[in-house]
Chains A and B, each alone.
Chain A
């Protein structure tokens, strides 16, 4: 039963399949493509600042799918029907978190290869960037899910969720991009720790949020 739910959620959010949007990945690559045009083709400058730009692009790309993430299924009554079939909100949100991450984390990690080439990142930097994205994107997905669930019943929810994600995602950005600046893998441990905590909290926080949205 949970497999069927995951399959549906993936079909809904995975890029290039059915209703899924490829926008976050396109957006991510577009930023990496435009940045050299904006600052000029100075290899040394690009290599030094490129990693940070990739992180900013990843963070902003995480905002794009939020609008559709939870609100639509509240409106359609999907969560109500699942609840009547014995699913708890926590399970629904855990499945949604997994589907959300799968649909933007791994594609973003793959897109980091062309992005690194465009920004003239060297081998060790690319290595740190990939590890960082692997550690950081689950956290970004978890923050996104919590915010999407909290703002689902608000009219200006989509605009608000973008604003709310930025401060909450700052620690991931600081430690993730910091690892690149200092060429030091250690701070990625912090990124992973923050991500794990957020992933553990997200199903409960988002589940409580969609339960509360029913009473409005």
Chain B
């Protein structure tokens, strides 16, 4: 993996709110090189909010995040321009990231035949794979994945799972929020519901 050799992602007693509602509190974990954490929980329990807080996109209500190494985020909003063909859309991010050889990721994810198709015509699964290609091309050590398997067919699920496993095997770190099961060796699991506030206000 490029970037810092020893990636770390640490959450210290995190608490996050959405609007006035406290989603979770006292959530702590520590992830290092080659480690992955699977965040489970029903819809609306705060998985996405947690990921956005870890990525520094929102400020947590309490607690702190320590992050050593560059972060990459894959969520349902891939930042790919719907009016542009996929190739041009990915090109923009490659230029921003200074990625020299994007073809590897495109080939692995089977995106090469789709490069001329405008992003708005892509299916959910294709778009997700395109987002993953952009993430792969960044070569960052820490992955934040929000529902990486949603909208994917069986073959694509296997492929994406294998890519995540490869990333971890190469010394990377990954945090995956998903309500689906992930077949990855050595994956730790954290149920976000365990950190929901006890005295739910009526």
Instruction: Output the least CB separation between B69 and chain A (Å).
Output: 12
A75 within 8 Å of B by Cβ? Answer: yes
Whether A77 lies near B75 (C-beta < 8 A) is: yes
Within 8 A of B (CB), among A75-89: 75-78, 80-85
Select B58's contact among A5, A19, A75, A214, beta carbons within 8 Å: A214
Please report the C-alpha to C-alpha distance between residue A19 and residue B57 in the assembled complex, in whole angstroms. 28
Whether A84 lies near B55 (C-beta < 8 A) is: yes
Q: B68: which A residues are within 8 A, CB to CB?
A: none
Contact with B along A131-144 (1 / 0, CB 8 A): 00000000000000
Whether A85 lies near B97 (C-beta < 8 A) is: yes
Interface of A is mostly: helix
Of B3-11, B77-85, B107-115, the one with at least 4 CB within 8 A of chain A: B77-85
Select B96's contact among A4, A12, A19, A77, beta carbons within 8 Å: A4
Q: B39: which A residues are within 8 A, CB to CB?
A: none
Within 8 A of A (CB), among B130-144: 134, 138
Whether B72 lies near A8 (C-beta < 8 A) is: no
Chain B residues with a Cβ under 8 A of chain A: 52, 55-59, 71-73, 75, 77-84, 92-93, 95-98, 134, 138
12 additional A-B residue pairs with CB within 8 Å, beyond A76-B80, A76-B82: A4-B96, A8-B81, A8-B92, A12-B81, A19-B83, A19-B84, A76-B78, A77-B75, A80-B52, A81-B78, A81-B93, A81-B134
- Report, nearest first, the 7 A-B pairs whose CB atoms are least far apart: A77-B77, A81-B79, A4-B95, A19-B83, A78-B79, A77-B79, A8-B92
7 A-B pairs (CB sep. < 8 Å): A1-B96, A19-B81, A77-B79, A81-B134, A82-B79, A82-B96, A215-B59
Chain A residues with a Cβ under 8 A of chain B: 1, 4-5, 8, 12, 18-19, 75-78, 80-85, 214-215
